[in-house]
Chains A and B, each alone.
Chain A
Amino acid sequence: MSELSLERGLNALRAEIDAPVAAFFSSCVHCGLCAEACLFYVETGDPKYTPITKLEPLRRVWEAEFTLFGRLKGLFGLNKKVTDEMLAEWEPLLYDSCSMCARCSMVCPVGNDIQYMIRKTREGMVAAGHAPEGLITAAARAVRTGSPMGLKWKTLQVQIDHVEASSGLQVPVDAEGADYLVMLSSMEIINFPEYLEAITKIFDHAGVSWTLSTDCYEATNAGIQIGNKDIAATLVQRIVDAAVKLKVKNVISPECGHAYTAVRWEGPNLIGKSYPFRVFHIIEVLEELRASGRIKTEGKEMDRLSLHDPCNLARKSGVIQQQRNLMDLVADNFVDLKEHGRYQWCCGAGGGVSSNERAAELKMTAFKRKKAQIEEVAPERMVTMCATCRTQLEEGLEDFNMDIPVVGLTEMIAEHLVEKNGDRKQ
């Protein structure tokens, strides 16, 4: 087994250069619009955070080895080489200052998917041994214990016991043939256990058959975040194995943005085959239940609420109207942030930034964009549906002394469900 090395890193970058990457690099018109779309650049004003700059290692390999001009330059020794020092210098640019929110990809006037290339460049960084410590340990724990935070099933079992005691409902575990297999993220198990209670109540209310799996209950994909397809595929395969074993029809991704895009969009490509089940975000499932009249609610939130769209859900997956329909169900005084939905600004914590301790300060600087957005509409509470976004919103608002609580949309729906007994009386 060889060690991670610059040579392996360069080879990984070469392997990642496909037709789209070649087209993107040759298409870049250096207009700089991606800079203005990136919260890390906008909030620091430091030009090194311009998204396209972050791709310099990949671009150099492409130019030197994949273009005629670069090859000619090479003959005269004019190419700038990618060195180990360069990769070390770029590591913070690729990991600390990019949440892979894809806002740069969206605004690029020539349609370059910069975020896609960041993901690819990280493959080279990992193979060259230049990944942040926080992400390495998270990936190692995810592969070894099944959770990037190292949680074992018994921790989840404790939460399940709590939920069952407080709701009086049973949380189905390893129920073969259920319609939905529910995946969680460690963040939801530790920080937001109310999520599990909420779906237990909602699914009981709507008569949905669902289950958790003791084989695989965590779907955060540390492989996607660190940028390694081997680790990412291992983690996706676990979900597939668990779902196949329990013969479920659908899998619900955790309320975690990158977990959702990893299992829904990238997973089949990673493992090289299609799923025998479908994948949804809980918001999509709830919206379908709402539309078919299976969720009955009473009462509405009267305070001024606003919504943070997770980038992976809204911008990358087009789930935008669904959460607003659900908001309408339970909120009377809802106001959208000025840039929302597809144009949402990232919270600053995604793409592995939150697992990377070195990035903690930069992450809070980037949060100023969200803070400014929130100040513009001055809501009394913020609502969201991604555990990472929610943690970042809570920490950020506290950091800036803003007294605005953050709630999960799923939990809010659960609070307004018509009680079963009340239902019968009517």
Chain B
Amino acid sequence: MATQKTLGESLREHGVTRRGFLKFCAATASMMALPPTMTSAIAAALDKARRPSVIWLSFQECTGCTESLTRSHSPTVENLILDIISLDYHHTLQAASGDAAEEARLAAMKENWGSYLVVVDGSLPGPGSNMGYSTIAGHSNLDILKETVEGAAAVVAVGTCAAFGGLPRAYPNPTGAVAVQDIITNKPIINVSGCPPIPTVITGVLAQYLTFGTLPEMDDYKRPLAFFGQSIHDRCYRRPFYDKGLFAETFDDEGAKAGWCLYRLGCKGPSTYNACATMRWNAGTSWPVESGHPCLGCSEPDFWDAGGFYQALSVPTANATHTLAVAGVAGAVVGGVAAAVAKKQQRHAVADREPVTIEQLEQRL
């Protein structure tokens, strides 16, 4: 049985060195904002961890999330971990088809009842809509999801479609698409949003689950805080230009060429929570803002309908709920007041500053 080997054993078989493994663990600890002393704990836990059974369900999606995961540039430890988790069912990647494929899913469920992870990418036609929009082996997405999740330890909704409905749910939502969390209410859910999500974030969540046997700390959207805790804007290398009020007005003006802030070109960085700015894409090569394009806000709910991609909006309001909009505005006001008070305080401090003289210094000797 493939699941008998520990992760450590499998990694060593694949030629991953101890050093490489520890580096991965250290990076994971750092990403999860854990103290460096946790590195050895993570290493010890991952080393002993049994390869978890993972059932990957693909519904209404474009396969971009799977592509994101598999199109990495070099075989990194995180790829290998994904290669060797017991991926018992994956539409796109598995060789089996038809009944054989469905039987593999049922067999994996039975053997690992209560402990397997279900990864979902894609949204699904919700209750009340035409189930014929997306079926597998004649079964509706809704039925497959409910059946598969029954014995799962947790559900990881990978990508914005699975997490929030994504593109299929965009107005006017012809298929009645809903997110996984709209259907599943009795199992822990982790939303790893993004269109597509960052591969390292997916493996980071899996590594945490394997290490501690617990789910990561999450925000109100059930996204892991370690990766979605800060806004793109706060981490953006163009931020100093925003602070100075230097904005590109068009994509080819002097400001754009000088790398100024893309806020006025529609950048959703201030209202988008994701790790692009720190982790970047394509093996750390770049990320949208670095290649000159404003952030679309792809890891946020309803980003397709949050006004135009190129309209300057700091908070998506067009399709957001009333509560969200009010909360956003209230937050901005409170934050603004706090900032203003702090600024005033700082101005006073600068004005009150007396020059230090040598005589004063020498009195302290």
Contact = CB atoms under 8 A, between A and B. Distances in A.
Interface of A: 1-4, 8, 11-12, 14-15, 17-19, 22-23, 26-27, 29-33, 35-36, 65-68, 71, 109-111, 126-127, 129-131, 133, 136-137, 139-140, 143-144, 226, 228, 230-231
6 tightest Cβ-Cβ pairs between the two chains A and B: A14-B349, A32-B36, A15-B349, A68-B338, A31-B30, A66-B342
A38 to B, nearest CB: 13
Contacts of A1: 357, 359-360
A266 B356 CA distance: 18
B33 A137 contact: no
Nearest to A33: B30
B42 to A, nearest CB: 13
A139 B359 CA distance: 11
Interface string B11-39: 00000000000000000011001011000
A230 B355 contact: yes
Contact of B361 (A4, A15, A110): A4
Nearest to A228: B356
A4 B30 contact: no
Nearest to A135: B361
16 contacts: A1-B359, A8-B354, A14-B346, A14-B349, A17-B349, A32-B35, A66-B346, A67-B338, A71-B341, A109-B30, A109-B278, A110-B235, A127-B356, A130-B364, A140-B362, A143-B358
B338 A71 contact: yes
Nearest to A144: B358
Given A14-B346, A133-B365, A139-B361, A230 B356 contact: yes
Given A15-B353, A32-B35, A226-B361, 16 more contacts: A1-B359, A1-B360, A8-B354, A11-B349, A14-B348, A14-B349, A26-B234, A31-B30, A31-B33, A66-B346, A67-B338, A130-B364, A139-B358, A140-B362, A230-B355, A230-B356
B36 A31 contact: yes
Contacts of B234: 23, 26-27
Contact of B358 (A23, A36, A140): A140
A136 B338 contact: no
Q: Determine chain A's interface SS by DSSP, over half rule.
A: helix
Contacts of B364: 4, 129-131, 136
Contacts of A26: 234
Nearest to B347: A15
Contacts of A2: 354
A229 to B, nearest CB: 9
Nearest to A28: B33
Interface in B244-299: 278
Given A8-B354, A68-B338, A131 B349 contact: no
B350 interface: yes
A19 B339 CA distance: 10
B338 A30 contact: no
Nearest to A111: B237
B353 A137 contact: no
B2 interface: no
Contacts of B222: none
B121 to A, nearest CB: 28
A136 B342 contact: no
Q: Interface residues of B toward A: which range?
A: 35 or more
A30 B30 CA distance: 8
A23 B239 contact: yes
Contacts of B350: 15
A143 B335 CA distance: 44
B267 to A, nearest CB: 17
Interface centre among B35, B36, B239 (most CB of A within 10 A): B36
Contacts of A130: 364
Given A17-B346, A27-B235, A137 B365 contact: yes
Nearest to B36: A32
B345 interface: yes
Contacts of B354: 2, 8
Contact of B360 (A4, A30, A32, A137): A4
A23 B233 CA distance: 11
Interface in B307-365: 334-335, 338, 341-342, 345-346, 348-350, 352-365
A195 to B, nearest CB: 29
A136 B338 CA distance: 38
B243 interface: yes
Interface string B121-135: 000000000000000
A15 B346 contact: yes
B73 to A, nearest CB: 20
A16 to B, nearest CB: 8
A110 B362 contact: no
Given A30-B33, A68-B334, A231 B239 contact: no
Contacts of B363: 3-4, 129
A131 B235 contact: no
B245 to A, nearest CB: 12
A11 B33 CA distance: 32
A1 B359 CA distance: 10
A131 B361 contact: yes
A127 B239 CA distance: 32
Contacts of B335: 68
Contacts of B353: 11-12, 15
Contacts of B230: 27
B332 to A, nearest CB: 12
Nearest to A31: B30
B33 to A, nearest CB: 5
A137 B360 CA distance: 12
A275 B61 CA distance: 60
Contacts of A35: 36
Interface in B33-84: 33, 35-36
Contacts of B342: 22, 65-67
A22 B364 CA distance: 31
